[in-house]
Amino acid sequence: MKGQFMKRFKPSAVPFVLTILLVPFLLGSRGLEQVKPEHYHTAVASKLAYSLSRYHYNHQGLTDSLSAIIFDQYITETLDPNKYYFYASDITAFAKYRLQFDNFLRDGRLGPVYYMFNVFKERLQERIVFAKTQLKAEFDFTVDENYQYDREDESWPVNRAELDEIWRRKVKYDAINLRLAGKDDTGIREMLTKRYENLERAVVELDSEEVFELFMNAFTEAFDPHTNYFSPINSENFRIRMSLSLEGIGARLIREGEYTNVVSVVTGGPADKSALLHANDKIIGVGQGIDGEIVDVIGWKINDVVQKIRGKKGTVVRLQIIAADEEASGESTIISLVRDEVKLEDSAAKADTLQLQYDGRQYVLGVIDIPTFYADFAAHSRGEKNYKSTTRDVKILIDELREKNVDGIIIDLRNNGGGSLTEAISLTGLFIKSGPVVQVRSSGGDIDVERDPDGTTYYDGPLAVMVNGFSASASEIFSAAIQDYERGVIIGNQTFGKGTVQNLIPLKRFVRRVDEEKLGQLKLTIAKFYRITGASTQHKGVIPDILFPEKYGIHNFGEASQPTALPWDQIASTKFNTQGNIKNYIPKLSLRHKVRAAKNPEFKYLQDDISEAVKTRENKYVSLQESKRRDERKKSEMKKLTRTNDRRKLKGLAPLNDGEKIPKEDDPRDFLLEESARIVADMIIFSKDGLSGYFK
């Protein structure tokens, strides 16, 4: 995901103490307090630069070309990606440093970094002053004009008049969204005043350590998106998160621009169980209890938003969200979640059966949902025989499904972001006799082949694996191995494409003569995964045998969307024997799927949503005319109602009227899972037609 100001809100700025400091001529006249590097940042920056260039998987040296990438990461990805604050003249003034960051980092000179941040801070404060003056005038929502909400590819504003016009429309956009949400003029002015003041405060209150972290992450992510710097306080927060159970709503949040965005929901947590909060949703307001006031949190620091959302187990928190596919319209909804503790068993694999009437016969298919690849290593090390692990749990579930005489099994890895590599390997071993599962290439070039050695196949029946764009890392290793062995059919969307391995390294290993309390940690990419065929899972992920339509697109949020992602490459194949010839039957399976999909209204709805999302992304503009926006909203509501009534008609239910609340039981079924079941049924039919061996 592309970051906007304070990407991931990880303070990273490489303070540099230059003998010639250029900040005062820009900032001194207004008496703004300048953020300056701490003395120990010099040692941390230089040692971090040395460690990265030596130990990162790519062994990327500190060069002018890398310096240019760091410059772009800091200015156009971290501070001002939407070009809301800097002038073209600022960028021209900064350009003298574009090819010098390699030298600055080597020497631990961080002055220019803080100079650029201080200019950014002044520019932001200028914009807040302008925005607040706009709130004093009356808005005319009858004018037919647009707001460009995505300016990433635009040129930097050349003068104040151009930037004022951008912000005039931005303030009007914020105002019309609140007006459509039912706020009156007084309420709009009060809320936006608070919002802009919060945004200003979030920047003004950044201290030296936070700015250092902002820049250092711009630096580390120039190597690859998964190499990160954690400041001392964030290192401690990370340690606490890893050692304690989670309590709250179970969502990982980041700061993007003025918004708090959902990166992912924690499997088994309240957000996951509710199915109301999803990745890429924006949280714009938080309320306590079932009737507490919704507090606008746009512009807040990420830590402050998290504190608002956290609370005691059993209490209610209400979130005002803009769904990922509603970004342009700004339409928001309010959801209620009950805070709870996220436990290991909530993330455990679960099984169910799916009854399918197809092609004149009844099928019973087992569905094993694996949210993550987990193992209770502590319990295992204590010698406990019944410790929790993905593979152990799935074996038990397979036994239960056998007792129910299932005709085939579907492994559902959708939204599974990975986890234990060991578990991915051992789980693969349940479905193959023996052999290699994944190759791991270290930064030194050594290649380890991780194998399933047991010589037995626990389940040898018809098998399908469902994946999507959020299936990553260990999920990709498992699905790639199943595909390469031709052990089962892979169904769904191209996976995320994370084929790299990271280690967390305390900086105290590299930095001497600095108080340990002032040293953070480095998350460093040290290795890369490769399939047994030699192809990397990095960047491209796993491409399913049978593809479903993808609403968001891997190039919009997956590894491929990251400009510094490590490339796809290939090494030599390792020796392995396929355990079927399923590839010979993929064309026939795919053809049957396409015929069914063409007749299934749910696939048509999905294609319509995809077309609408593509159109929105390509347009990048939204109307500021109230009548148009209300018409657009009405059309969207009618579209949802029409779909609901179409579904109700198929069930023999009476249609709903306009404005009537849609019952929860009218939520659409998981038609992609049902279609996957039909694909497995086709596999069984083919085997009975004498095509056995393609799944064994």
Three-state DSSP state, 209: helix
Longest distance between any two alpha carbons in the chain, whole Å: 85
| DSSP secondary structure, 546-581, as one string | EEPP-SS-HHHHSGGG-TTPPPP-B-PPPP---S--
Active-site residue, selected from the candidate residues 90, 224, 369, 484:
484
Q: Torsions phi, psi of 506, nearest 5?
A: -65, 135
Q: How far apart are CA 655 and CA 641, in angstroms?
A: 9
Which residue type occupies 29? S
Active-site residue, selected from the candidate residues 498, 518, 540, 551:
498
Angle at 253 between CA 252 and CA 257, to 5 degrees: 160
With CA atoms as reference, report the closest residue to 239 among 523, 658, 482: 523
User: Is 231 labeled as catalytic in the residue annotation?
Assistant: no
* Structure token digits, residue 30: 């207004």
Q: How far apart are CA 155 and CA 302, in angstroms?
A: 29
Token pair 């970094």 in the structure block, residue: 113
Q: How far apart are CA 109 and CA 106, in angstroms?
A: 8
Active-site residue, selected from the candidate residues 347, 473, 536, 687:
473
Cα within 13 Å of Cα(486), Cβ side: 17
Angle at 132 between CA 126 and CA 137, to 5 degrees: 130
Q: How far is CA 565 from CA 75, 440, 561, in A?
A: 18, 18, 8
Cα within 13 Å of Cα(324), Cβ side: 20
User: Is 484 labeled as catalytic in the residue annotation?
Assistant: yes
Q: How far is CA 385 from CA 136, 343, 372, in A?
A: 69, 20, 21
User: Is 332 labeled as catalytic in the residue annotation?
Assistant: no
* Structure token digits, residue 456: 């037995």
Question: Could you list the active site residues?
Answer: 473, 484, 498
